[in-house]
A and B are shown apart, each in its own frame.
Chain A
C-alpha cells in the first residue's frame, strides 16, 4: 500500500499528463462512436443503436457534398496562394536586412494576435462599404489567404533560420547560377518547411468558421453547413465525413514527418549536426 502511494507521488505529473491527453481525445472518440449511431429523431446527441448505414451513405446528402467540395476548392486555392507569397515573405525577412523589416514583422504578427471575429467583421465592413465585391467564394478566398499568410511565414522562417548557407556557397563555387542554386539547393532544403506550412494553411482554411461566417454571402462551406444544420439537427453523415477528414489528415501528417526525417538524413552533410526533433510540422508552427 505504501509502495503504491509512493509510486503515485513519484509519477503524479505523468498521471496528470496522460489524463489531460485522454481529455483531449475524448471528443474525437465521441465523434467516431456517434458516426455509428442510429438516432431516432433528428438530433444525434444520445446513443440509440449501432449501424454502419451512415458510413455507406457518407456522400448521400447533396447539400453536404456541395459544401464539402466548396471547402476543398477553397482550401486548396488558399493554400497554394498563401504558401507561395508567404514563402517569398519569409525569404525576404530572413535573407535580407532592409528598411521596414521591423514593420513587416509587425504586420505579420498582428493578424495572429487579433480575434477572428474582429478580422471577420472588419473584412465584412470593408466589403460592404467598397461595394465592388460580391460576397461569396471570392471574398472567402481573399479572407482565407489573408489569415493563412502569417502562419506560412512563421513556419517557413523557422526552417530558413536553421539553414546552413555554406551549402549555397558551395553550389556557387561549383558554378551554379543564383537561380540554379535556389532551385537545386535552397528549395529542396526548405521544402519540408514549405510542405508543413502548406499543410497548416490547408487545415486552417478547411476548419475556419468565424471569418467565413461573416464573409460567405450565400456560399456554404463544410463548417458553415454544420452551423446551419445545427438548428434542425446535424445528420450523422457529418460525423462520418469529419472522421474521413481526420484519418486523411493523420495519414498526410505521418507521410510528412517521414519525408522530413528522410530529407534530414539525406542532407545531414555534417554528421555531428543534430537533426531537428521529429516534431510534426504543424506542432512546430503553433509555437
Chain B
C-alpha cells in the first residue's frame, strides 16, 4: 500500500506547480484571446475575430519570425556540427575545455551578449569592414538589417545545437565507424552512411531546441534590427506591455504556440519518432 501512494506524494508538489502555473495559464490565455471590448472592460464573448484580425494585421511578422528562426537554425546547424564533431572525436584532452567554451556564453547575461553584438556589428567595427570588403555588407551596414537579427539568433542559440549533437556523437560506438573503414568505405562514405545517421537524434533535438526559442524571440530584433525586422515576439510584447491590447496579444501568442506545435509534429514525423525518444531518454 505504501509503495502505491509514495510516487504520488513525491510527484505532488512539482506536478501541482506545473499544472497550476503552466497548464491552467494556457487556458486563461485562450480565454483572454476570445475577449472583446476596450481596455478596462474586456469581456469573454467567443470573439473569434481576434484571431482573423491579428493574423491579417501581423502576417508579415509571422512569416518573418519563422523565416529568421529557420535560417538561424540552419546556420547554427552548419556551425555546430563541425564543432560537436571536433569535441567528440578530435579534441582529446582538450574536450572539457571546449565543452566549457560552449557553455561559457550562458554565464554572461543574455541581454549583454546581444548588446555586445551591437558593438561587434556597428559601422565602425573591423568585422563590418571585412564583411563590406567581401561584399556581404551593402553600403557598409550590418546593424538594423535582417542579417544582423539572424546573426544574433544564430549566436544566442548555438549552444542548444552543439550540446545535443555532441551528446549523440559521443554515444556512437567507434567500432561501427571502424567497421565502415574496414569495409573499404571512403572517409566521406563512412561519415554519410554511418556517423551522420547515428547522430540524427542529436540533430533533431538540437534543431528543435534552437528553432522553438528563436521563433518566439524579440530581444535580438529589438537590439539588432530595425522597425522592418520586427518579429512576432516584438508584436506580442508590445501589445501586452505597451498597448494593453490583451485579447489580440493573447490570440497571437496562442497562434504562435499552435504553429510551433504543428511544425514540430510534422518535423518529427519526417525525422522519425525515435528522434523524439532520443531527446526524452536522457
Contacts and interface: CB of A to CB of B under 8 A. Distances in A.
Interface stretch (B50-58, B85-93, B133-141, B178-186): B85-93
Nearest to A124: B240
Interface stretch (A49-57, A183-191, A238-246, A263-271): A238-246
Interface string B226-254: 00000001001100110000100110011
B173 interface: no
Nearest to B105: A24
A108 interface: yes
Contact of B111 (A16, A119, A223): A223
A199 to B, nearest CB: 11
A210 B234 CA distance: 11
Contact of B109 (A118, A210, A245): A245
A213 to B, nearest CB: 7
A25 B253 contact: no
Nearest to A152: B14
A28 B105 contact: yes
Contacts of A227: 111
B102 A226 contact: no
B110 A209 contact: yes
A34 B119 contact: yes
A230 B116 CA distance: 12
Q: Is the interface of A mostly helix, strand, loop or mixed?
A: helix
Interface string B102-134: 111111111111011111101010000000000
Contacts of B213: 115-116
For chain B, give the interface size range. Answer: 35 or more
Contact of B99 (A44, A88, A230, A283): A283
A203 B106 contact: yes
B8 interface: yes
Contacts of B14: 85-86, 88-89, 149, 153
Interface in A100-157: 101, 104-105, 107-111, 113-119, 121-126, 128-130, 142-143, 145-146, 149-150, 153-154
Contacts of A24: 101-102, 104-105, 155, 158-159
Interface string A6-38: 000000011011101101111110110010000
B83 interface: yes
A188 to B, nearest CB: 19
Q: Is the interface of B mostly helix, strand, loop or mixed?
A: helix
Interface stretch (A58-66, A167-175, A273-281): A273-281
A96 interface: yes
A51 to B, nearest CB: 17
Contacts of B142: none
B93 to A, nearest CB: 11
Interface of A: 13-14, 16-18, 20-21, 23-28, 30-31, 34, 44-46, 85-86, 88-89, 91-93, 95-96, 98, 101, 104-105, 107-111, 113-119, 121-126, 128-130, 142-143, 145-146, 149-150, 153-154, 158, 203, 206-207, 209-210, 213-214, 222-223, 226-227, 230, 234, 238-239, 242-243, 245-246, 249-250, 253, 257, 277-280, 282-284, 286-287
B48 interface: no
A85 B18 CA distance: 11
B231 to A, nearest CB: 10
Contact of B282 (A27, A88, A287): A287
Nearest to A126: B25
B240 A96 contact: no
Contacts of B170: 277
A282 B87 contact: no
A282 B18 CA distance: 22
Given A17-B87, A85-B17, A45 B119 contact: yes
A13 B116 contact: no
Given A115-B212, A283-B102, 16 more contacts: A16-B83, A17-B83, A20-B79, A20-B83, A21-B102, A34-B119, A113-B208, A116-B216, A121-B29, A122-B22, A123-B25, A125-B28, A142-B21, A227-B111, A283-B163, A287-B164
A248 B3 CA distance: 43
A287 B10 contact: no
B229 to A, nearest CB: 16
